[in-house]
Amino acid sequence: MQNHLSTSQRRALWALSLAYFIQATGSLSVAGSLVPISQEWGISDAQSARLLSIFGLTFALGAPLAQVMFGKFMRRTQVLAGMLVFSLGALTFAIAPDYKVLVASRIVMGLGASLIGPVLIALGAELVAPEERGSAIAMILLGVSMASMVGIPLAAWLATVWGARMLFTLIALMSVLTASSVFLLVPNVVSGVDIRLRQVGMVLKQGKSLAAFLVVFFITSGVYDMYAFISPMIRDRWQGDTPAVSIALAVIGSAGIVGNLFVARAARHYSAEHLLVVGLTLLVADMLLIMLLPAQLSLLYLLLVVWAFSTDLLWPTQQRRIVEISTAETRGISLALTSAFMFCGIGFGSAVASWLYPLSGFYGVMISSIVFLLLALASLWTSERLRARSAEYQAVSLS
């Protein structure tokens, strides 16, 4: 099948991808910069990791509520407002005098991101023909992979060399510049949807949708249970220094790009359910090998290639699946709830890691991550069963 995206559509999608890049970098750079943040404000690694949890939980609550309160506005307007609020939160982080203000800044960043993440996917999906939505979503989510490959390793290096305050000053500046590119390149043609709070409840009451959201929740819980503490784990288990952490993050990002490019093409040939099963199976097997094989940095880097490929196979695929199982009327709130469950998983997984790592160390974190991923597989099986049952019921009703 040929790609029929026009030049203007491509430019718009790349601008949205850049917005996702900035959001992902600003949101997740805490994971790669735990040590510089802890040193700058005199706090523990666990306290620094909780800043990631606070962001995730704020996003989880904010994403569906933002759609209820602001969903009727044009999609591009929501993205622009979110980028500016996100920038304000990053600037507050940069000038924070103490841990309380750090917490407040992450709440502001989470609120801004709650207007960005869900809307980027919904906006991009409506800018292209239905048969190109899988590829369009993958293009937008390529920004997340680029954040892993370039943004987060660069953020970790900048936080180490220039300090965490300078890092978040740059994130604030880049957020404003990215908002300008979205304003110039993305057409203001996609209307929002006037969503009522009861509609959120109606979507959540659908068994196939709730189970699908749980797939997202358990995937992100499992991934970020490990990822949130990757810096301390490399330091403690592999005796790696700051450059070793940066290399690991760069390896993750580079392999993630390959995974994202692969899924952009595979989406035309394989179902979302098939790709999710493959990605989750690879991820569980790889994490078992990370646990069981000798603690050698070169071996870790090799295994992280598979880890990142599998992870970036999952991100766009789970978004695509939500688009496919939702109706045009519920797509906006479904994507908002998807992002809510995603960042709730990020917050929950990193919170579990911050609790387990001081108690049971590396193995406690890895085992809990694998359990979360197995729960994701179980939720996918349940969602598919309920989806098939719903389709059979509708077929009987129409006959």
Of 253 and 303, more confident: 303
> Is 397 domain-assigned?
no
% pLDDT > 90, the chain: 35
Is residue 18 one of the residues assigned to a domain? yes
Looking up tokens 């994507």, which residue turns up?
A: 335
Q: How far is CA 187 from CA 85, 177, 214, in A?
A: 21, 17, 33
| Residue 249, domain member (yes or no) | yes
Q: What is the pLDDT of residue 104?
A: 96
146-169 core/surface letters (b: 16 or more CB in 10 A; e: else): bbbbbbbbbbbbbbbeebbbebbb
User: Within a domain: residue 178?
Assistant: yes
Q: What angle do CA 182, 188, 193 make, to 5 degrees?
A: 110
Which tens digits make up the pLDDT trace of 128-143? Answer: 887 777 778 778 877 8
Residue 138: phi, psi to the nearest 5?
-65, -40
Q: What is the largest CA-CA distance in the chain?
A: 68
Contact 251, 149 (CB under 8 A): no
Residue 398: what pLDDT? 56
Measured distance CA(376)–CA(369) in Å, rounded:
11
Residue 4 located in a structural domain? no
Please give the Cα distance from 338 to 126 (Å, whole number). 17
In a domain, 398, yes or no: no
- Residue 3 maps to a domain: no
Kindly tell me if the per-residue pLDDT of 18 is higher than 50. Answer: yes
Q: How many residues does the chain have?
A: 399
Chain-wide mean pLDDT for the chain?
85
Give the pLDDT of residue 1: 38
| CA-closest candidate to residue 115, choices 329, 320, 332 | 332
Structure-model confidence comparison of residues 299 and 249, the more confident one:
299
309 three-state secondary structure: helix
Look at the chain and report how many structural domains it folds into: 1
Angle at 247 between CA 246 and CA 252, to 5 degrees: 100
pLDDT at residue 10, rounded to an integer:
87
CATH number of the structural domain spanning residue 20: 1.20.1250.20
Q: Which tokens is 87 given?
A: 């920038």
Mean pLDDT of 108-135: 83
Range of the domain at 263: 9-391
